[in-house]
Structure 1
Amino acid sequence: MHTNDLSYARKCDENDDLSHFRQRFLLPKDSNGNELIYLCGNSLGLQPKITSKYIQDELDDWANLGVEGHTEGKNPWLPYHEALAKPMANIVGAKPSEVVIMNTLTTNLHLMMVSFYQPTKIRYKIIVESDAFPSDKYAMESQLKFHGFDAKEGLILWKPRKGEELCRFEDLESILKEHGESVALLMIGSTNYYTGQHFPLEKITELGHRHGAMVGFDLAHGAGNIQPNLHDTGADFAVWCTYKYLNSGPGSLGGCFVHERHANNEQLKRFAGWWGHNKDTRFNMRHDFDPLPGAEGWQLSNPPILSMAAIRASLDTFEEAGFQNLRNKSEKLTGYLEFLINNLKNDRITIITPKDPTQRGCQLSIQVRNADKNIHKKLTEAGVISDWREPDVIRIAPTPLYNSFEDVFHFTQRLKEVLA
């Protein structure tokens, strides 16, 4: 049973087998050298202390070996991305052959839609949750326009009911019942950036496939946060970034999943590049495009190694901690945060994220009635790094790799003072 006092929070941290991982990250400090309460891993994850060494290793090989670093380096650059496939696959619940690190999120989304959005005059519509991250909407609208369709008419929004914040699965069923024969793609954000709602991926995939549509997911707020079990879910594809919960640095590379049933389908249209070509003949330069099987076959260019080094540093940390262990701690941290917020008994506050831990990750979205961004400014001045989303939501993400129960306690105390 939770209690609302600092000694309880500290006791939870003492009993936390993962608490020592906090010391492996660089935490922001104020001008006096005091650690800030960092609850913004849903926007940008903190830097692991080992990241600088991992990057320095590659800089050293570049300095000492030049081009020979591709084959003779400590971690040869030619196959560098291959070492990331298994640990990343563990995090998203896939087979290594179904996963590749490449490009950035929206670039990957466009590349996936080249292959998995194949509209006809009858079947061309795309379904997305109404409050999807805007970049996803822009990408889908531009794809509709590119194929000659009206973007507003071709994009179907899965909306919460009037007076509600969360999307209901039965409403998605109704949309497919009405529009099923005209829907080419369901493209859903697995965990909504605004509300923190985690959608039932397997049920969505089965529903989309039953109506003849392809199904893809944006895991930007899911990868490293929840376990999407992509292979078993059966989604056709998924995309994600690595700079949020996966702590790889601002603007770092993204990830792609392509289900193994598509691994050898050379009939799928794709935009091709030489890094997706057969490794045995890639450097011959005079062969027609021969795609690699699996997700690797969607690569375009040789990868930026310095970004991949940062990703490898984070993935090594995830591997050591164990993703299920992190997920277990995440539920406890978020449950404690929920308890403390409710314990404030402030009628201006509503948590719009689902109460069921299976329907959310570590983010709680706190709606503050009659608030504006000034409340976020006051929290920042109080030493809390959080995230504001218009019109009235503070997003708080206690991340299990580096946040503590004490962080959560101090945050709610400072929120109480700011609201007062």
Structure 2
Amino acid sequence: MYKATLAYAQQLDKEDKLSYLREQFHIPKDKQGNDWLYFTGNSLGLQPKQTQQYIQQELDDWAKFGVEGHFEAKNPWMPYHEFLTEKMAKIVGAKPLEVVVMNTLTTNLHLLMVSFYQPTKAKYKIVIESDAFPSDRYAVQSQLKFHGFDPEKGLIEWKPRAGEELLRIEDLEQIVSEQGDEIALLLIGGVNYYTGQYLDLKRIAEIGHAKNCMVGIDLAHGAGNISPKLHDSGVDFAAWCTYKYLNSGPGSLAGLFVHEKHAYNKELPRFAGWWNHNKETRFNMRQPFDVMAGGEGWQLSNPPILSMAAIKASLDMFDKVGMDALRQKSEKLTGYFEFLINQIDTDRIKIITPSNPKERGCQLSIQVKNADKSLHQNLTENNIITDWREPDVIRCAPVPMYNSFEDVFRMVEILKGLL
């Protein structure tokens, strides 16, 4: 049983086999030089100290070799994206064939929908969560309009029940059972940005495929947070950013997954570019387009090396630690966090994230009664960095790579005082 004392939190940190990782990150500090209590890895992950070295290596090789760095650099730029593939595939539970790092998240979703959203007059609708991240909503609305459909009629929302915050999988099952003949695509956030709910991807895939619907997953809040096991889930495609839990820096590149069952289908419609053409004949220049197999078949342009160097720095850390160990610590951190919040004698706040650790990542969403942003602003003034999501939620993410149990204890003590 957890204890609500500083000594207990410090003892948990002493027992934590991953506590050494915190020293490998830059922790922002206040004006007095004290570490911020940073709980926004779900928005922007902190910088690993080795990132500068990784980027500097590419700057040095650019200075030293110029264009020859494509072949002569310590990490040759020509195949650089391949250095990321295997480690990224481990994080999301995929085969290397199925994964590529490229572009940014919403760009990747659009490129994937070129291939996997193939509407007909009868079967054209798209299912999303009612509280999907706005970018996903805008993306599918624009796809519907692009194909000549009315987004008002073509968009189906999977909603929580009245008086509830969380989604029920049986409600999605009912939607698809009743309207599946009209649904072409399910595009679902694997971990909901607002509530932190981690959805059953395998079950979602089964529900969609039972009615011949394509199934895609937005893992923006999942990659590096939960273990989605994308290959085993059977979903057709997925995309995710890397600047949250994967600590790759603001606006950095995204990841893409296409299931192996589609890897060799050259007839899938897609946009083409130099970099998804067969790498063996790419530089022959005047060859007809010959698409590559697997995830690389969606990569259009040569990659930005400096951004990839930052991703490489982070992936090397993840590879040494492993997602299993990170998930174990994550569940314990959020369990302690949840325990402490529930000890506060107040009706002004409540946690809307699932209490079952298997149904959440490392985010807890705190709903504020009669909400305005004052509580969040007061936390910020106390050097506790969380984020506010309209209309009434403070999102807090104790990230297992760099947050401590003492962080959690101190945050809740300040929160208690403010309430």
Asked if these proteins are the same fold (TM beyond 0.5), I'd say yes
What is the aligned partner in structure 2 of residue 16 from structure 1? 16
State how far apart, in whole Å, the 1-side matches of 2:320 and 2:22 are: 13
Q: Which residue of 1 aligns with 2:302?
A: 302
How far has the Cα of 1:87 moved from its partner? 0.5
Residue 292 of structure 1 corresponds to 292
Q: CA deviation at 1:80?
A: 0.5
Counterpart residue number, 1:207? 207
Aligned length: 419
Q: Which runs of 5+ in 2 are unaligned?
A: none
Cα distance in 2, alignment partners of residues 219 and 170 from structure 1: 21
Q: 1:384-403 residue pairs with structure 2 within 5 A?
A: 384-403=384-403
Q: String of CA shifts for 1:96-133, please: whole Å, max 9, x gaps.
A: 11000000000000000000000000000000000000
Give the letter for the 2:218 counterpart. D
Give, in angstroms, the shift of residue 293 of structure 1.
0.7
Equivalent residue for 2:224?
Answer: 224
Q: Secondary structure at the match of 2:206?
A: helix
Name the amino acid aligned to 1:5.
T
Structure 1 segments unaligned to the other structure (5+ residues): none
Matched residue, 1:67: 67
**1:93 is aligned with what amino acid?**
G
- Partners of 1:219 and 1:105 lie apart in 2 by 9
Indicate yes or no: 2:269 matched with 1:269.
Answer: yes
Structure 1 counterpart of 2:234: 234
Q: For 1:193, what is the secondary structure of its paired residue?
A: coil
| Structure 1 residue 371, shift from structure 2 partner | 2.6
Aligned to 1:143: 143
Q: Counterpart of 2:409 in structure 1: which amino acid?
A: F
Tell me the equivalent position of 2:129. Answer: 129
The Cα RMSD (Å) is: 0.5
SS at 2:156 equivalent: strand
Q: 3-state SS of the aligned residue for 1:188?
A: strand
Q: Is 2:85 aligned against 1:85?
A: yes
1:267 and 1:105 mapped to 2: Cα distance? 24
The TM-score with structure 2 as length reference comes to 0.99
- The residue number in structure 1 matching 2:335 is 335
CA distances 1:6-49 after superposition (whole Å, capped 9, x unpaired): 00000000000000000000001011111110000000000000
Distance, in Å, in 1 between the alignment partners of 2:418 and 2:249 is 31
3-state SS of paired residue (2:80): coil
Letter of the 1:108 counterpart: N
Partner of 2:55: 55
2:414 corresponding residue in structure 1: 414
Measured in 2, the distance between the counterparts of 1:346 and 1:368 equals: 11
Q: Distance in 1 between matches of 2:347 and 2:215?
A: 40
TM-score by length of 1: 0.99
Give the deviation of 1:345 after TM superposition.
2.3
CA deviation digits over 1:53-95, x for unaligned, max 9?
A: 0000000000000000000100000100001011100000000
Instruction: Name the amino acid aligned to 1:333.
Output: L
SS for the counterpart of 2:394 is: strand
Q: Runs in 1 of length 4+ with deviation above 3 angstroms? A: none
How far, CA to CA, are the matches of 2:248 and 2:115 in structure 1? Answer: 27
Structure 2 match to 1:116: 116
Within 2, Cα distance between the matches of 1:381 and 1:287? 60
Specify the code of the residue in structure 1 equivalent to 2:327: R
Aligned identity (percent) is 68
In structure 2, the residue matched to 1:357 is: 357
